[in-house]
């Protein structure tokens, strides 16, 4: 199978040319053509000789995603893609005042089994390759006629369970000759894989970390997120604290509010205690009504929870709702689409 050109960092592409007795400067030119000019085929390149074009066509592939469905609202868009092997993934664009953020999937399915997440229903089928993440950006920009400035790895999958490909992806999109999306504009959202958080901490790049915490203690978190049985809350918070200190960055604490489960005043107070001494801010996410049976708390309960955090000196926001009509929680478009395909007798 051919290597995909979007899976190559610039140094690797230079090696590719050098190994074929070509001028390595062609790698920089090709990077600009791919990521700035967004060529769709090697035959569009008129500044390389025919021999080079033929070699590229024979040895490297260019694209492998098929856009299956696009849904748009004023502030968000959801795209459903089919991968080369028939699996599907989703990508969500969110329009902010400061630019467009893209929520990228990192795996087909997910093994983490968080009970509030539709992606977790379908177990991990496989990790995505780096180019399958890069292509989500390029295809989204093309399909929505826009550009992306920030990346959040919060689509389908646990990014740190696909560590090597995710790191390669961050290196590729950070290249100034290419998409030029610096690591500081990339947020990695994790359910809490401590060994990989440690690896990330020791890396040169300075990506932002978002921790899907969702509960202030082992009892509630263990019931919501199976990973908590491997890495408990106390050790996890130590790892997050250390990451924030070394990188000198605030960690985002993601907290989905589920009515009657983790939204009490006691939970809010316990959360405040847990976060003492940690550079962070809390992103409260009132849950969308899903097919999984969870209920969104009443507005008053959400406000109370938020107020307790503020009164205890925590920085917090209640997440703006992006395209709730689009089923904007992770995995929901894909889940809904599969249901529809099944209903209409289609195939995935
Ligand atoms: S919330 Fe994230 S880690 Fe948990 S099952 Fe869903 S995709 Fe996986």
**What mean pLDDT do residues 196-210 have?**
96
Give whole-number Cα distances, 330 to 52, 105, 337, in Å: 42, 9, 13
**Confidence at 288, pLDDT banded by 50, 70, 90:** confident
Q: Which of 157, 163, 193, 256 to mutate to test the pocket of ligand 1 (most atoms within 8 A of CB)?
A: 157
Instruction: Give the ligand 1 atom nearest the CA of 117.
Output: 6
Q: Is the pLDDT of residue 346 over 50?
A: no
What pLDDT, on the 0 to 100 scale, is given for residue 291?
Answer: 63
Share of the chain above pLDDT 90, in %: 81
CATH number of 66-343: 3.20.20.70
**What mean pLDDT do residues 302-314 have?**
98
Higher pLDDT, 319 or 329: 319
How many angstroms separate the alpha carbon of residue 59 from the centre of ligand 1? 36
pTM: 0.91
Instruction: Give the ligand 1 atom nearest the CA of 189.
Output: 2
**What mean pLDDT do residues 205-224 have?**
96
How many angstroms separate the first and last alpha carbons of the chain? 23
How many angstroms separate the alpha carbon of residue 110 from the centre of ligand 1? 6
pLDDT, tens only, 86-144: 999 999 999 989 999 999 999 999 999 999 887 767 789 999 999 999 999 999 999 99
Distance between CA atoms of 228 and 220, rounded to whole angstroms?
10
Task: Verify whether residue 129 is a known catalytic residue.
Answer: no
- Please tell me the total number of residues recorded for the chain in this structure: 348
How many angstroms separate the alpha carbon of residue 329 from the centre of ligand 1? 11
Count CB-CB contacts under 10 A for residue 341: 14
User: Which protein residues are within 6 Å of ligand 1, measured from CB?
Assistant: 110, 112-114, 117, 119-120, 156-158, 191, 212, 330
Dihedral of CA 55/59/60/65: which sign? positive
How many angstroms separate the alpha carbon of residue 245 from the centre of ligand 1? 26
What pLDDT, on the 0 to 100 scale, is given for residue 290?
Answer: 67
Catalytic residue, from 103, 191, 287, 330: name it: 330
What pLDDT, on the 0 to 100 scale, is given for residue 334?
Answer: 41
What pLDDT, on the 0 to 100 scale, is given for residue 39?
Answer: 94
Q: Which of 119, 189, 258 to mutate to test the pocket of ligand 1 (most atoms within 8 A of CB)?
A: 119
Q: Is the pLDDT of residue 338 over 70?
A: no
Average pLDDT of the residues of the chain: 90
Share of the chain above pLDDT 70, in %: 91
Q: Is 348 helix (H, G, I), strand (E, B) or coil?
A: coil
Q: Which of 110, 223, 254, 255 to mutate to test the pocket of ligand 1 (most atoms within 8 A of CB)?
A: 110
Q: Is the pLDDT of residue 345 over 70?
A: no
Task: Verify whether residue 90 is a known catalytic residue.
Answer: yes
**Confidence at 74, pLDDT banded by 50, 70, 90:** confident
How many angstroms separate the alpha carbon of residue 157 from the centre of ligand 1? 6
- Give residue limits of the domains in the chain: 3-61, 66-343
How many angstroms separate the alpha carbon of residue 310 from the centre of ligand 1? 28
**What mean pLDDT do residues 48-71 have?**
94
pLDDT, tens only, 222-269: 999 999 999 999 999 999 999 999 999 999 999 999 999 999 999 999
Measured by CA distance, the residue closest to atom 4 of ligand 1 is 114
Distance between CA atoms of 183 and 327, rounded to whole angstroms?
28
**Confidence at 325, pLDDT banded by 50, 70, 90:** very low
Measured by CA distance, the residue closest to atom 5 of ligand 1 is 120
Catalytic residue, from 90, 118, 129, 132: name it: 90
Give the position of tokens 């509030």.
116
Q: Is the pLDDT of residue 341 over 50?
A: no
Q: Is the pLDDT of residue 198 over 50?
A: yes
CATH number of 3-61: 1.10.150.530
Q: How far is CA 133 from the centre of its chain?
A: 9
pLDDT, tens only, 151-194: 999 989 999 999 999 999 999 999 999 999 999 999 999 999 99
What pLDDT, on the 0 to 100 scale, is given for residue 333?
Answer: 40
Higher pLDDT, 308 or 324: 308
């Amino acid at each position: 199978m051919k290597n995909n050109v979007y899976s190559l960092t610039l140094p690797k592409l230079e090696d590719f040319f050098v190994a074929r007795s070509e001028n390595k400067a062609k790698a920089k030119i090709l990077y600009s053509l791919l990521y700035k000019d967004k060529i769709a085929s090697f035959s569009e390149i008129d500044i390389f000789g025919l021999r080079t074009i033929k070699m590229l066509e024979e040895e490297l592939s260019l694209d492998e995603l098929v856009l299956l469905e696009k849904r748009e609202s004023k502030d968000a868009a959801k795209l459903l893609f089919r991968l080369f092997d028939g699996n599907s993934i989703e990508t969500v664009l969110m329009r902010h005042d400061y630019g467009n953020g893209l929520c990228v999937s990192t795996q087909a399915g997910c093994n983490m089994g968080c009970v509030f997440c539709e992606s977790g229903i379908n177990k991990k089928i496989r990790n995505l390759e780096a180019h399958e993440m890069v292509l989500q950006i390029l295809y989204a920009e093309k399909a929505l006629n826009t550009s992306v400035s920030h990346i959040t790895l919060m689509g389908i999958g646990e990014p740190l369970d696909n560590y090597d490909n995710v790191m390669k992806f961050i290196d590729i999109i950070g290249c100034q000759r290419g998409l030029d999306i610096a690591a500081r504009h990339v947020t990695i959202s994790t359910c809490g894989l401590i060994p990989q958080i440690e690896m990330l901490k020791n890396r040169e790049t300075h990506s932002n970390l978002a921790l899907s915490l969702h509960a202030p203690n082992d009892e509630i978190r263990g019931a919501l997120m199976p990973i908590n049985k491997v890495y408990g809350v106390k050790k996890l918070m130590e790892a997050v604290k250390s990451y924030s200190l070394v990188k000198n960055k605030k960690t985002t604490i993601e907290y989905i509010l589920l009515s009657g489960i983790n939204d009490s005043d006691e939970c809010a107070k316990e959360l405040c205690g847990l976060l003492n001494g940690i550079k962070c801010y809390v992103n409260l996410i009132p849950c969308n009504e899903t097919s999984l049976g969870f209920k969104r708390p009443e507005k008053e309960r959400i406000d109370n929870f938020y107020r307790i955090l503020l009164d205890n000196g925590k920085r917090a926001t209640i997440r703006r709702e992006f395209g709730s009509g689009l089923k904007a929680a992770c995995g929901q478009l894909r889940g809904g689409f599969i249901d529809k395909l099944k209903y209409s007798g289609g195939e995935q």
